[in-house]
Amino acid sequence: MHLIITEKHNTAKRIAGILFGSASKMVRVNGVNTYGAGDEVVIGLSGHVVGVDFPEEYNSWQKTDARDLVHAEIVTVPDQRNSKIVSALKTLGKKADTVTIATDYDREGELIGVEALNIVKGVNTKIKADRARYSAITPGEIKNTFGNLTEIDFNLAAAGESRQVIDLVWGAALTRYLSVTSKRLGKRFLSVGRVQSPTLALIVDREKEREAFVPEPYWELYAVHKEGFTSKHRKDRFWEKEEFDRVLSKVKDAKEGTVSDVKKGKRTEKPPTPFNTTEFIRAASRIGFSPANAMRIAENLYTNGFISYPRTDNTVYPASLDLKELVSMFLKSEFGEYASKLLKKPLKPTAGKKESTDHPPIHPASLASRKQLKDDEWKVYELIVRRFFATFAESTLWKTLRIIIDIKGEDFIANGAVLVEPGWRYYYPYHESEDRILPDLKHGQVLGIEKFDTESKTTKPPGRYGQARLIKVMEDLGLGTKSTRHEIIQKLYDRAYVHGTPIQPTKTAYSVVDTLEKYAKMVVVPDMTSKLEGDMSDIADGKITEDTVITESKEMLDSIFDDLVMNKEKIAEGLRDGLYTDTVVGPCPECGSDMVVRPSRFGMFIGCTGYPDCKFALSIPSSKYGMVIVTDKVCEEHNLHLLMIARAGKRPIEVGCPYCNQLKWEEAEKAGNDPVVGPCPECGSDLVAKMSRSGGRFIKCTSSDESCKFTLPLPPPRYGELVITETTCELHKGLHHVHVVREGARPWEIGCPYCSFIELQKNKENSKTKGGKTSRKTGAKSKSKKAAAGNQKKGGLTDIAGIGDAIAKQLQSAGIKTQADLAAADAEELSGKLSKVSKKRITGWQSIVQLQTSA
């Protein structure tokens, strides 16, 4: 049997379709879909099947000295998320006589392939192995690749593994040291990384430049001419007010000026070079895509065969690429007029400075239509197609005109430009090309002056980095790789070190960078990281061994710890002072003390430092879902900083002023305008959707005598507008389906809140033993609500979501034999009889029983 291993499931399916056509069939092996025909089987991985870690004895942050991690043993551990894939690899490996590694051809892809190969060899030592290298998942490329298989590059895989080990050791040791020293444990630990920290230092240093910047005043002088254009004094900027006033006084009464010089010329703009990853990200950012989003979309386009591999440094099309064929495939598409125009002349592409042999520049690999792609995918695909076309186009030609006008002995200048030949801009219309038209003037011509305009300005501080610009700077400094730079920046957002666009550092970022610059400067300067990146490239080229580079990196880290340990108390004091600043929201409205962000078992809240004398506090809605960031913006009414919640891999939640939020919540409680979901199953009163102070949504009975305590939680998301739809549940008559409408996203369908709650509880119980995929809409297992509700009606205790055999035995020992017994029990009293079962959990089960009765 011939086993082919790809990096992703979609790639496996597509390659099998290309190689075997209609004969390709899907077969499940150990719960994993595989594809193939006859003795040919293709299986897709899901990234790394194994990882690197420290032995379990190093897990305790408090008991293990962080420095011990520097020279601790590194072990290979299986990725539990891919356990089914590992089982399938072993099953197939036993039957195979040949395995072809067809993962992405780069450092990371080679390592992923070798990891899978080692698993297969673990059950079949005699298996033969080879490598398929490709840059596009198209029929021509794949068939050619599998007709010309090569050897696995174990040096390239070793380079990838060295990065894994070095990043683990540096990140874990330094993160643990700073976090323990500053007592910042839990989810708000202080993350440090080999590439992450120098990148963060770039952001903080730029912010310091902005803060230290002293604006300088300057003045500008313009003449507005009756002929319909404006000229500017030759001086451009006047830095001395006295000189500006003198010139203005001299010319202000002038009614005319004389053309003293006319210069006509031409200017050309060369066409752009082919896209590599960095330039693609920068171009995508100009049309509204973040680096992470742009790369995610590009990866999808590549996997589906529409573009070439999107992770490349190359800016030179290789001779092996049939450029004419690629352009010709667009002749009968909506890009037909562009392709036709290009093909009228020989194709002579531009070339950038970087050339490599692993992958070509990013280019379209096959024809796509708008109907085949989502809107964002089409925008990215079109960008890549148009850039590809532009690399074959001619230069842009402008006619330029420079006019000098004498006004009482002072020269004023007007510049004009008219686009004559659009050249590459015809294909790539993403750059502004506005004409600046001047009248056809001649030397000695007298021009009228309508008025003089003056502007008083100050110099601006250097701008903050945008993500695309920062990626370019990282590339120039050798920080990270084409595959990881955008991920590093996203990690800074996820760790709440930065926020906003352009990027702004938090006070925590300042504190960490300042500490490292003072006591471990090597960690935050690019030199060390750049050298290690170079060493990893040397491993790939066979110039140096993996062990040598890892040993060298550990020696560097040892020297860093010498300084850290020597200055432990100073580091602790400096970090704590800086970190405290990042938690201050503003003055307490009642006593004037600092209001600070503090943790609680329900998330984060804002407490007064005057406690216990002052007990004023404010909740932070949705703080359980990410890291709280105190922004620089301040509420004018309450003098408190606005907050946001940074969430891993997602856009932040804008919380705003916490006091305004609390007042709105209190007003809503008094007004009683909560949306009605339907009748209470217990007493028939209205059930309304409410929001807790912490931002959680729930359903509550509005019984007038408050005798009915029936409540149900609503699943996330906890932000967005809650909409009660006209659709009602078939099982629970009168109960309306609920949606959450969020800005910039499609509505989140919660559905019937009762059915959703049942599914959510059942899913939690199932996930403890089986795992399982959850529904994006409800957070519950992907099965019908009707079936889920039906499964609850069997009558036994274990048929209630959340009750397994162990808890059922506890309940029976406490005298609870049936669901009816459970419903009638006092929740608080029963909780005291059970081990590790809260009152809240019991009332949840009782709600399920009540729900079943009402259904």
- For 442, list phi and psi in degrees, rounded to 5: -125, 155
CA nearest to 674, candidates 700, 709, 710, 695? 700
CA nearest to 135, candidates 302, 298, 317? 302
Contact, 595 vs 606, CB < 8 A?
Answer: yes
How far is it, in rounded angstroms, from Cα 532 to Cα 517?
19
**Other beta carbons less than 10 A from residue 464's beta carbon:** 19
Sign of the alpha-carbon torsion through 509, 511, 512, 513: positive
How far is it, in rounded angstroms, from Cα 684 to Cα 426?
68
How far is it, in rounded angstroms, from Cα 749 to Cα 197?
40
- Please state, in angstroms and as integers, the Cα–Cα distance from residue 682 to each residue in 678, 687, 715, 829, following that order: 12, 10, 21, 22
How far is it, in rounded angstroms, from Cα 776 to Cα 780?
8
CA nearest to 170, candidates 70, 253, 247? 70
How far is it, in rounded angstroms, from Cα 303 to Cα 791?
40
How far is it, in rounded angstroms, from Cα 413 to Cα 663?
58
**What is the spatial order of strands in the sheet that 697-701 belongs to?**
676-679, 686-691, 697-701, 711-713
Q: Could you tell me which residues come within 8 angstroms of residue 426 by beta carbon, excluding any fewer than 6 positions away?
A: 338, 341, 393
SS3 of 180, please?
helix
- Please state, in angstroms and as integers, the Cα–Cα distance from residue 205 to each residue in 393, 487, 513, 560, following that order: 41, 21, 9, 21
Which amino acid is it at 180? Answer: V
Angle between helices 485-494 and 196-212 (to 10 degrees): 70
Rg of the chain taking only CA atoms, in angstroms: 33
DSSP β-bridge partners for residue 411: 406
How far is it, in rounded angstroms, from Cα 645 to Cα 627?
5
Catalytic status, residue 35: no
Pairing outcome for strands 32-37 and 25-29 = antiparallel
Alpha carbon 172 to chain centroid, angstroms: 22
Looking up tokens 């060493």, which residue turns up?
535
Q: Could you tell me which residues come within 8 angstroms of residue 90 by beta carbon, excluding any fewer than 6 positions away?
A: 119, 120, 122, 123
Which amino acid is it at 608? Answer: C
**What is the spatial order of strands in the sheet that 25-29 belongs to?**
25-29, 32-37, 40-44, 2-6, 98-102, 128-131
SS3 of 634, please?
strand
Q: Specify the DSSP element, H or E, that contains 462.
A: none
How far is it, in rounded angstroms, from Cα 417 to Cα 411?
20
Q: Could you tell me which residues come within 8 angstroms of residue 661 by beta carbon, excluding any fewer than 6 positions away?
A: 618, 619, 621, 655
- The active-site residue, picked from 309, 465, 497, 519, is 309
How far is it, in rounded angstroms, from Cα 284 to Cα 281?
5
Q: Could you tell me which residues come within 8 angstroms of residue 518 by beta carbon, excluding any fewer than 6 positions away?
A: 574
Pairing outcome for strands 498-499 and 504-505 = antiparallel
What is the tally of helices (H) and strands (E) in the chain?
25, 30
Which spans in 183-286 are helix H? Answer: 196-212, 241-251, 277-286
Buried b (16+ CB within 10 A) or exposed e, 821-838: bbbebebeebbeebeebe
**Catalytic residue set:** 309
